[in-house]
Structure 1
Amino acid sequence: MSGRYPFLFSIPHGGVSVPPEVRGLVNLPRKEIVFNSDPSTCRLYDFGDKAEALVDFDISRIFVDTNRAPYEYPPRTQDGVVKVITQDGTPIYRKGRVPDRELIGALLRNYYYPYHERLTEALDTHPIEVAFDCHSMLPKAPPVRMDAGRPRPLFCLSNRGDRHGRPRRQGAFVTCPPEWLSALARSFETEFEGEGPVAMNDPFRGGFISTAHYRRTRIPWIQIEINRGLYETEEYLDPETHHVDEAQIAELRERIFSAITGFWDEVSG
């Protein structure tokens, strides 16, 4: 026994780096790159000393999004594995410099596939009983989404199901049992009582990571989204660097892990 929880934590969007392959093509200042990533998630979900495995990613999601299918790229889509616009519709690349198929292939080979290979290795070599794909979300839906301007919950927990965690239709799959998703929602509601709603599969149902790796191994996956309004406030956020006060991050990290372990104590007992 390792003394660690049988968890895998995937943090695919916490990086803010620009791949060298696209330097010189980018239309955005660093502040915008950071904002359009999932800043602080590598610290919020840093449970590597308590869990069997943790896999994170250095590159900003706007350049390589490991939570999208590898065939979702321009011109087929603007918000795929390689993106064309930010959350507010700003072009990511200079005019005429959007990555072509050859450059997209290099980005996939150099960054996208290695991330998924690390997840595969963790799932195949560690005693993982549940995996969490960890994200953050803006307080309101951004302009590029169909629900633009809609307020987000405090947390969104996803298993590809409906708002109760059940399969959306007969024959459809979910990435973890509905009872597990409900138990995790209750645990987050207890830990963050009175601070805001905890939703299931709304506004997010789970992405490519949880779907693909669940299908391969049948190890349960849950996607977690935390509302950035919990920590990106005037009190805690440096507007220039977008760095959040470490004490606030540490407190939230402890409470998130408390909610997760509370869930696990219930479903594994």
Structure 2
Amino acid sequence: MDIFTLERGTAPLLISLPHDGSHIPDAIAARMQPAARRSPDTDWHVGKLYEPLARELGASVLRPQASRYVVDLNRPADGHALYPGRRETGLVSTIGFDGQPLYLEGQEPGADEIAQRVSDWWQPYHRALAEEVERLRVQHGHVVLWEGHSIRSHVPMLFEGRLPDFNLGTADGSSCGADLQWRLTNVLESQEDYDFVVNGRFKGGFITRRFGQPGEGVQAIQLELSQHRYMDEDSFAWDGAKAAPVQALIGQLLRACLGG
């Protein structure tokens, strides 16, 4: 199977969806807890949210096939923590967002297997990401990398209470320019239907931090979207009535990235 899909656009905007995939190879799934084989911590339906907008705006879209349980594409390949001092899942995690083990006892991957998964899945995605960022930067002189994510509204292992609906991360302002962050914040402040935070619990993962170099013409933003706003969190089912206004607001944010 393909490791990822890349739809190349013409605008200076690349939408990366590193946790959109839910596929777990059979040889790995056979060693996992039954509940984990469904890949419940997937960023469900983010491709469905973003792909119509990407076509409308001429943006590129990069999507993986494999679940974050195979390897987390938004973690550094050396496994260093993104939020030191906080409990979090890892590069090849052995626990889910509920804190429960993903693998049957004694079936966790060892160092050699982790290195192989990085080689087979992580590196190809990141090569494609780097090449597309550079293609668009050279073509336009600048590019915005938009990291599209989503997560359950309540994940006690990661944060207290309910997560805000829209969570923008710019690595505390280092991954994009102040003007772009202001434009995005202004879009969110101009509406009243959803709450939001900028650089709250989620400040941007490895991809945002690695690629965001405003001085080099590459700005990166992560949006962590609360799943209860566009789907049913228990069944993972898409809710079109809820999703439509969310999609419209995301469209406004993406247009702000293009200066609109």
User: Could you say which TM-score interval applies, normalised by the shorter chain?
Assistant: 0.7 to 0.9
2:148 maps to 1:134: yes
Task: State the distance in 1 between where 2:9 and 2:123 align.
Answer: 30
2:12 maps to 1:16: no
User: Residues 78 and 188 of structure 1: is their aligned pair in 2 closer, same or farther, counting only changes over 3 Å?
Assistant: closer
Tell me the TM-score normalized by structure 2. 0.82
Task: State the distance in 2 between where 1:231 and 1:31 align.
Answer: 23
User: Residues 3 and 81 of structure 1: is their aligned pair in 2 closer, same or farther, counting only changes over 3 Å?
Assistant: closer
The equivalent residue for 1:259 is 253
Structure 1 residue 265: Cα displacement? 2.8
Note if contact 1:210-1:223 (Cα within 8 Å) is conserved in structure 2.
Answer: yes
Structure 1 gaps of 5+ residues are: 166-173
Structure 2 gaps of 5+ residues are: 1-7, 82-86
Structure 1 residue 83: Cα displacement? 0.4
Task: State the distance in 1 between where 2:170 and 2:188 align.
Answer: 16
Size of the aligned set, in residue pairs, is: 241
2:50 maps to 1:45: yes
Aligned to 1:36, which of 33, 41, 66?
41
Note if contact 1:10-1:131 (Cα within 8 Å) is conserved in structure 2.
Answer: yes
After superposition, where does 1:1-269 map in structure 2 within 5 Å?
A: 4-29=10-35, 32-33=38-39, 35-46=40-51, 47-49=53-55, 50-72=57-79, 79-126=89-136, 127=139, 129-140=143-154, 142-145=155-158, 147=159, 149-161=160-172, 165=173, 174-190=174-190, 193-215=191-213, 218-233=217-232, 239-240=234-235, 242-246=236-240, 248-262=242-256, 264-265=258-259
User: Residues 214 and 21 of structure 1: is their aligned pair in 2 closer, same or farther, counting only changes over 3 Å?
Assistant: farther
Task: State the distance in 1 between where 2:217 and 2:100 align.
Answer: 38
Identity over aligned pairs, percent:
24
Task: State the distance in 2 between where 1:180 and 1:260 align.
Answer: 11
User: Residues 31 and 106 of structure 1: is their aligned pair in 2 closer, same or farther, counting only changes over 3 Å?
Assistant: closer
Tell me the TM-score normalized by structure 1. 0.80
Note if contact 2:176-2:213 (Cα within 8 Å) is conserved in structure 1.
Answer: no
Structure 1 residue 175: Cα displacement? 0.5
Note if contact 1:155-1:198 (Cα within 8 Å) is conserved in structure 2.
Answer: yes
Task: State the distance in 2 between where 1:263 and 1:221 align.
Answer: 10
